[in-house]
Structure 1
Amino acid sequence: MTTLDHWGGTSRYADLDGAVHYVDFGGDGPPVVLVHGLGGSHLNWCLLAPHLVEHHRVLAVDLAGFGLTHPEGRGTTVPANARLLDQFLAEVVGEPVALVGNSMGGMISILHAARRPDSVTALALLDPAVPLPLGTRVDPQVAAAFAIYAVPGLGRRFLERSRRGVSTRRQVKRVLNLVCANAKSVPEEVVLASMSLLEQRAEIPGLDEAFLTAARSVVWTGATSRRYHTAMSRVKAPVYLVHGDRDRLVPVTSARAVARRNPSWRYEEFAGVGHVPQLEIPDVIGGRLVDWLARD
């Protein structure tokens, strides 16, 4: 057990058919569970969680293959991690929760809320992975990367080559430059913690394949849009959809289309923000979530 000193979180493990890592940020009140995206971890929430703990008990789970939850033979697809989230909520939290999901974590949270409506009191989606409307322009770098991920063997070689001779700081900065509209807004302590996590994960076998499997599953789930939209329509809890207008991974047009399809959802768009608003404007997002959860 370790403490995330800067942010008041305690690192814990639960035995859910294998060790699952999560961070307990403490706090009093109704529980909130934070679900990270593709390639992410509990660290994606370290700036947001302190804004929530005065009103909620806050937990951030590492999905299988990410953060400190090793794959260990477990599936890392979207459905597999949706099952892991279901088990985590049932066995670790033990009561209905507000889910906050980013990117792939938003997708997983939608599927869980549709399948287990009694376990979710509210659903906040921060730049969730959602279907692309026809004619949407995709960022060329993102499109090229996911095309490579889709090819067996090629994806693994691409990931290995991308790390070769590259410092951990540079690797972290490269990701932040992709997911943030302004990577310089992310504090140095987050960069250092991310570097440390990257070093811890460097010797764990199977992580590249876990990532690639998850990436392909995200694309497939988004591509089967009719089924995915049906799941969205089955969510009974109040939904707050947030999106940055400079998101390179999930274009803002996708969020706008989803908001139009689900007029009962609250939709808010942030100018000059990328794919991870919880890291870019954590104080703003924290305030919005606390106010919204108090009403809903």
Structure 2
Amino acid sequence: MSTPEHAEGGRLRDGRDRRIDLGGPVHYVDFGGRADGPTFVLVHGLGGSHLNWELFAPLLTPTGRVVALDLPGFGLSEPGERPATVPANVRVLESFLQRVVDGPAVLVGNSMGGMIAILLAVRAPELVRGLVLLDPALPLPLRAARPRNAAAGAAFLGYALPGVGERLMHARRRRVGPRELVRAMLVLCGVDPAAMPPDLVARSVALVAQRGDVAGMDRAFLSASRSLAWVLTFARSYRSAMSAVTTPVLLVHGERDRLVPVAAARDAARRHPSWRYAELAGVGHVPQLQVPDRLAGIVLGWLPATAPSG
């Protein structure tokens, strides 16, 4: 298991918390950054939040402005009655870019956030300067090997089933507290909790504990997971969208990802030779937490490919 590389010797740099109404409240963190550079918009995955980017975002601010949003039902974006499906979140991201970002953005999406970024790039290409896909949710190749983490696959299958998912989440919440929930999620994603900055772990635990609308958050998680499973199971439209992307793409995948097998990333790279592909040995599902410095070097090295022509 890789040891996280911590930005600035392990010190975390806070951004400014902000909220915007996009058919409901959306929380985001503006990390600031270089005003004359590109804007990076960071999109978390299923069960994630703006805290997933705390180690990585400061490494981009010398190059451009950096913002990280919480999708509805995650982080500090209370869900209310809004849907949290993948198509609904694509529309939220589109509105966010229109309202918050000046000009086309570089979208950086992890896991489900990568899928959302791909679909947005096809829906509204004028809003996207480039795509950075970090272990994105991808369809498996037809002859893929069995995933390394069968237990995780079974759990997500359970979440996808109406009624079953609700019982699973309720039972788990009664059985374990916020600290154990955070620890288990980190381990599932391939991160050693003991190697993380204690302040980041503490803030992640506090975020889980402070969520007011627990029932709504659970509903959003289940809605998002079911929508994600649907897109991946009936993948023809998703594959067509991937082929329709016209902006530059950087695909980065951890070789030890137990949630999205590296075989899926290799297959995507083979199908899309114009995409730049980087594979990280010994890294799991969230390279922005495990190897932020190495990841930033790859992203910034690729960034000139997104420069407007002419």
TM-score by shorter chain over 0.5: yes
1:100 maps to which residue? 108
State the 1:183 CA deviation. 4.0
Supply the distance in 2 between the matched residues of 1:44 and 1:269 (Cα, whole angstroms). 20
1:238 partner letter: P
Structure 1 residue 157: deviation in Å? Answer: 1.2
Percent identity (aligned):
54
Q: Name 1:26's counterpart in structure 2.
A: 32
Q: Amino acid of the residue matched to residue 236 of structure 1?
A: T
Aligned pairs for 1:25-64 (under 5 A) are 25-28=31-34, 29-64=37-72
In structure 1, C-alpha distance between the alignment counterparts of 2:193 and 2:214, rounded to whole Å: 27
The C-alpha deviation readout for 1:41-92, integer Å capped at 9, x for no partner, is 0001111000000011000011011111111111100000000000000011
Moved more, 153-162 or 71-80: 153-162
Which deviations, in whole Å up to 9, do the C-alpha atoms of 1:196-237 show, x marking residues without a partner? 100111554311111011001111111222211110111111
AA at the equivalent of 1:259: A
Question: 1: distance between equivalents of 2:268 and 2:301?
Answer: 23
Contact 1:185 1:280 in 2 (8 A): no
Structure 1, unpaired ranges of 5+: none
Q: Which moved more, 1:232-241 or 1:137-146?
A: 137-146
**Local SS of the residue matching 1:205:** helix
1:160: Cα distance to partner?
1.5
Tell me the alpha carbon deviations over residues 20-42 of structure 1, each in whole angstroms, 9 at most, x when there is no partner: 10000000121110000000000
Q: Choose the corresponding residue for 1:238, options 239, 248, 263.
A: 248
2:301 paired with 1:283: no
Equivalent residues of 1:181, 1:272 under 8 A apart: no
The answer to whether the Cα contact below 8 Å between 2:257 and 2:285 also exists between their aligned partners in 1 is yes
Instruction: State the AA in 1 paired with 2:114.
Output: G
Answer yes or no: is the 8 Å Cα contact 1:70–1:204 preserved in 2: no
- Does the 8 A contact of 1:181 with 1:246 survive in 2? no
Aligned to 1:194: 204
Q: Distance in 2 between matches of 1:50 and 1:231?
A: 31
TM-score, length basis structure 1: 0.95
Within-5 A mapping of 1:131-210: 131-136=139-144, 137-138=146-147, 139-201=149-211, 203-210=213-220
Aligned to 2:135, what secondary structure does the other structure show?
strand
* Runs ≥4 residues deviating over 3 A: 181-185, 202-205
CA distance in 1, matches of 2:23, 2:252: 33
Name the aligned partner's letter for residue 27 of structure 1: G
Kept after mapping to 1: 8 A contact 2:193/2:201: no
Give distance in 2, aligned partners of 1:240 and 1:189. 30
Q: Does 1:17 align with 2:27?
A: no
Structure 2 runs not aligned, ≥5 long:
1-10
CA contact (8 A) 2:55 2:289 kept: yes
Stretch of structure 1 that moved more, 130-139 or 18-27: 130-139
CA RMSD of aligned residues (A): 1.4
Number of residue pairs aligned between Structure 1 and Structure 2: 292
1:37/1:102 contact within 8 Å kept: yes
Counterpart CA distance in 1 for 2:291 and 2:191 is 11
The answer on 1:127 being equivalent to 2:135 is yes
- Name the TM-score, length of structure 2 as normaliser: 0.91
> What is the CA–CA distance in structure 2 between the aligned matches of 1:237 and 1:76, rounded to whole Å?
26
**Aligned-partner SS, 1:164:** helix
Partner of 2:269: 259
**Greater displacement, 177-186 / 272-281:** 177-186
SS at structure 2 position matched to 1:131: coil
Tell me the SS of whatever aligns to 2:184. Answer: helix
Q: Helix, strand or coil: the match of 2:28? A: strand
**Aligned-pair distance for 1:6?**
3.0
Measure how far apart 1:140 and its partner are.
1.1
Which deviates more, 94-103 or 81-90? 94-103
**Among 82, 90, 115, the residue aligned to 2:123:** 115
